[in-house]
Amino acid sequence: MKKSLLVMAILLSTPSWAGDIAAGKEKSVTCVACHGQNGIAQIPMYPNLAGQKEQYLLQQLKAFKEGSRKNMVMSPMVQPLSEEDMKNLAAYYASLSPCDQ
């Protein structure tokens, strides 16, 4: 009984959108060209991703994928990403400090 309560508590405390940071880092190889090694873009026209809220990042990736947000670069980039990939990328970039340049 106690074990099942513990499992329930863990499941309820972990948001359904939470991703795997290590898997997100592995998947971010393509993102580095525009968004920088540490999520800080070197080119001003590209947004910094480091330190953004995880749920916000996930929402934006989903919007690019479904087409409700359009961008000539990002829209095709997200098409091959799975839901899990997007969650992991969001978790990874949210875990980075926006001050690490």
DSSP-assigned states of every residue in 18-73: ---HHHHHHHGGGTHHHH-TTS--SSTTSPP-TT--HHHHHHHHHHHHHTSS--TT
Can you tell me the distance from the alpha carbon of 19 to that of 12, in angstroms, rounded to the nearest whole number?
15
Q: What is the pLDDT of residue 22?
A: 97
pLDDT digits (tens, 9 = 90+) for 37-95: 999 999 999 999 999 999 999 999 999 999 999 999 999 999 999 999 999 999 999 99
Confidence of residue 99 (pLDDT cuts 50, 70, 90): confident
pLDDT digits (tens, 9 = 90+) for 8-46: 555 555 555 579 999 999 999 999 999 999 999 999 999
DSSP run (H or E) holding 97: none
pTM assigned to the model: 0.81
> At the top level of CATH, which class does the domain 20-95 belong to?
mainly alpha
- Structural domain spans, the chain: 20-95
